[in-house]
Chain A
């Protein structure tokens, strides 16, 4: 029974601790499971440790002088705790880092080419590109302009498209909605959902915009101060009154009756 559960999780992260510069403990024993083919959200406020969690999984910690000091991460049953970032991309983990970070001086088309795995044939690459342009028609229109001059939404689409070229099995996105207009967030999340359905791609989504995230994921984890403080289905989280108050906003509309002193993040203490 236990084994069956393991097999269903494409990613399993167990009690992972991350140290930056050998002194700063950024996450303190985070456990997250991503079931195969599902979309999972990591929610929480600024500096809670969401981005660090993603970097621990993608191996990008090393570039910021961080390391996993405890715990283990397995991907499709293989221990990847110590694997190089490049190796993890080859295995099928791709991380769309925060702030879009497209290759600004390249065209969108070249951005996609740059991410092509080694040994990918030209025809496979072109097929991948066509597929990505079909998901993001706006990118197709601007594929030969300079990526640095695309709009914020287009850059986010390009960052996601660029990640898709690596043919991931698990796509991780760090704050894809940051600084985007609500209708764009809706458009991008809709496309993510479609890719998830069409290709069975597992998605781990980090969001501060809990409202938008909980609409498309099946489960969510709430991270605060480097710990998982809540975990449940999207439905359960949406109806939780604390979540409504602190992360969804608008839980109470009558501001005269809001008793601020009585409501605090109780789960933190």
Chain B
């Protein structure tokens, strides 16, 4: 057994996993407020990346300005989605809202295709691709940057949920009716959670866009992001971070063992197995809250 190689796989797996977490945090934010997995999070991530590119390339702004500006635009878009589409669905069965998010994802993909076409564009963040060695272990710089962004967002949101606005959002997640009864604006809370998830989508879009190029395939991140969110418990940000690391490591190390046996392609199988087994064995995930039953 080559321990150096194994730890390299594990560490890079963990870093990639944190990039999944970066995506999954957006899912968790919306799930917390609306109890719906947002199937359009992939679409939002893709749009986030396109908006950054539009501002940087088409308008010609420097990236350090284009990214925050895109975050502002997406923040507005998130609020808009709640205002235009979701508010009408308040009180309807959850499956309707789920279908709405699916429709939204298709719509966003179609829109970007119509405006920017289907050719992959590069983000050109300017992160060096020179190998970074930690002892004998090779680490990708962009993955390291992305993992840092994911952890920073994690800490940021943990702090945010202790503020008064954050507490109100958690209250909304607990009980709509009780929230209305004390004058909390549930509609605005849900809007805010969509807005924040859209900002997270910009971060995920920039990092993933740098790694795999900006095109409609970015929206397919949803599958891995959803797996991470489900494993973490859908409504736990800490869960999303830890589940991301777990999935990344299992996927990277597992694929290295399995690929020679099955002749490649085992990555997807591992992700699928994790998703299916989580739902079967532990539906509320690692850190999801169960409904409290007092005895």
Q: Which residues of A contact B (CB under 8 A)?
A: 58, 60, 63, 65, 85-86, 89-90, 94-97, 101-106, 110-111, 113-117, 146, 148-149, 151, 162-163, 165-166
Contacts and interface: CB of A to CB of B under 8 A. Distances in A.
B183 A86 contact: yes
B171 A95 contact: no
Interface string B179-201: 11111110000000000000000
B261 interface: no
A102 B289 contact: no
The 6 A-B residue pairs with the shortest CB-CB distance in the complex, in nearest-first order = A89-B183, A148-B292, A114-B171, A115-B182, A101-B178, A103-B174
Given A65-B91, A148-B292, A104 B174 contact: yes
A89 B182 contact: yes
B171 A103 contact: yes
Contacts of B176: 63
Contact of B91 (A63, A97, A104, A151): A63
B180 A115 contact: no
Contact of B178 (A97, A105, A110): A97
Nearest to B168: A114
A119 to B, nearest CB: 11
Contacts of B179: 114
Contacts of A94: 181-183
A136 to B, nearest CB: 16
B180 to A, nearest CB: 5
Nearest to B174: A103
A86 B167 CA distance: 18
7 contacts: A60-B177, A60-B181, A63-B177, A103-B170, A103-B174, A114-B167, A151-B294
Most buried by B among A110, A146, A166: A110
Main secondary structure of the interface of B (DSSP, over half): helix
Contacts of B88: none
B175 interface: yes
Contacts of B167: 106, 110, 113-114
A86 B176 CA distance: 13
Interface string B251-295: 000000000000000000000000000000000000001011010
Interface in B115-167: 164, 167
A110 B162 CA distance: 9
Assign chain B's interface to a size class.
Answer: 20 to 34
A172 to B, nearest CB: 9
B170 A85 contact: no
B170 A106 contact: yes
Interface of B: 91, 164, 167-168, 170-171, 173-185, 289, 291-292, 294
A166 B182 contact: yes
Nearest to A155: B294
A85 B175 contact: no
Contact of B180 (A60, A103, A162): A60
Contacts of A166: 182-183
Given A63-B91, A104-B175, A115-B184, 20 more contacts: A65-B91, A85-B183, A86-B185, A89-B182, A94-B181, A94-B182, A94-B183, A97-B177, A97-B178, A101-B177, A104-B174, A105-B170, A105-B173, A106-B167, A110-B171, A114-B179, A114-B184, A115-B182, A146-B292, A149-B292
B178 A86 contact: no
Contacts of A151: 294
Given A106-B170, A114-B168, A148-B292, A90 B183 contact: yes
A266 B228 CA distance: 64
Most buried by B among A63, A90, A146, A163: A63
Contacts of A106: 167, 170-171, 174
A95 B180 CA distance: 9
A110 B182 contact: no
B10 to A, nearest CB: 34
B175 A103 contact: yes
B174 to A, nearest CB: 4
A222 B240 CA distance: 53
A85 B90 CA distance: 15
A104 B184 CA distance: 16
Contacts of B182: 89, 94, 114-115, 162-163, 165-166
A102 to B, nearest CB: 7
A198 B175 CA distance: 31
Nearest to A152: B294
A106 to B, nearest CB: 6
Contact of B294 (A63, A65, A149): A149
B233 to A, nearest CB: 12
Nearest to A94: B182
A60 to B, nearest CB: 6
Contacts of B294: 148-149, 151
Contact of A58 (B181, B184, B292): B181
